[in-house]
Structure 1
Amino acid sequence: MNVILLEPEIPQNTGNIGRTCCATGTKLHLIEPMGFRINEKNLKRAGMDYWDDLDVTIYDSFKDFMDQHPGIKIWMATTKAPHRYTDVEFGPDDYIMFGKESAGIPEEILVDNEDTCIRIPMNPEIRSLNLANSVAIVLYEALRQNDFHGMQMEGHLHRLQWKE
């Protein structure tokens, strides 16, 4: 799986998303301009010690990204989408794009990709969810549809011996 952040603005969100990407084996693509520097302390703090293990690439622009990845399938998460994220079929190599916190994905990009625009249902009075939460919701649905390929599927309790 691949997550694209188009012009992210808040370093803590990007750090949290980076941690989620590490936990899921997902590649993160960051598209400039960003509202922070990649070496910012808040970004690393939110990503904890996982940031150094993150598979991340930074692009100068959306055009630069598209030039480097021709023919890919991009699902575009937006509140303006006609389809729910649970109603589409994600492939194992698909890309899921999220826009910047203050404005989302620009409408000129969305109108050219309406068939792959997806939304997370929510109350109509709310403008949007937190970016890191939105990424986690959609990414885990995509991973679920692909049987969580390559992920640890079971945990084990450490049973304590209780003394009487």
Structure 2
Amino acid sequence: MNPEPYQPLLHIVLYQPEIPYNTGSVGRTCVAVGAKLWLVRPLGFQVDNYHLRRAGLDYWQHLNWQVVDDWQHLLDELGQRRFWYFTKFATRDLGHAEFTPEDVLVFGRESQGLPEEIRNSAPERCLRIACRSEVRSLNLSNSVAVACYEALGQWRRAGTDVPLPE
């Protein structure tokens, strides 16, 4: 964990991420939009992994991030906030969600997505990012970027008074 360089507008959770490049890219997006990155163990890499920091370039030092040991620890830390679960199994499209500041956006493992028990805990808050049938899903880091900018766009269009990136 590092000192918090900014108050997060969103919380991005990567549940047991496997690929350091994806996590590094997600970290870069989090800095860009003012989100806090949460990593739920076990991780498929070391947090000080060269590839993780390389993908995040020189932005990692500005990232507000934290690693938690398991799903329950994450719930203990963020339990009072609203969670959105991103999964290809959802029937609700990302564009139909109404995001509010400090929402928690949860993304699963690159190889398996989110476990069924997490998805089933709140099916009404499971979201999908629309893709043509030729594509199973978007890359994890791309999915996070799409979701973050959808939330920021909603706030901008609604005139929400939050400090948005320019």
Q: Same fold (TM over 0.5)?
A: yes
> What TM-score comes out, normalization by structure 1 length?
0.90
The answer to whether the aligner puts 1:73 opposite 2:82 as a matched pair is yes
Contact 2:152–2:164 at 8 Å: present in 1 too? no
Give the match for residue 31 of structure 2. 22
Structure 2 portions without partners, runs of 5+:
1-9
Q: Distance in 2 between matches of 1:107 and 1:35?
A: 20
Q: Distance in 1 between matches of 2:81 and 2:163?
A: 22
User: How many matched pairs?
Assistant: 153
- The structure 2 residue matched to 1:61, chosen from 70, 74, 82, is 70
Give the match for residue 114 of structure 1. 123
> What TM-score comes out, normalization by structure 2 length?
0.89
Give the match for residue 95 of structure 1. 104
Give the match for residue 11 of structure 1. 20
Contact 2:21–2:52 at 8 Å: present in 1 too? yes
**RMSD (Å), alpha carbons:** 1.1
Paired AA for residue 85 in structure 2:
M
Q: Distance in 2 between matches of 1:73 and 1:15?
A: 25
Superposed, which structure 2 residues align to 1:21-60 within 5 Å? 21-60=30-69
Give the match for residue 158 of structure 1. none
Give the match for residue 151 of structure 1. 164
Q: CA deviation at 1:152?
A: 3.8
Q: CA deviation at 1:151?
A: 2.8
Q: CA deviation at 1:60?
A: 0.2
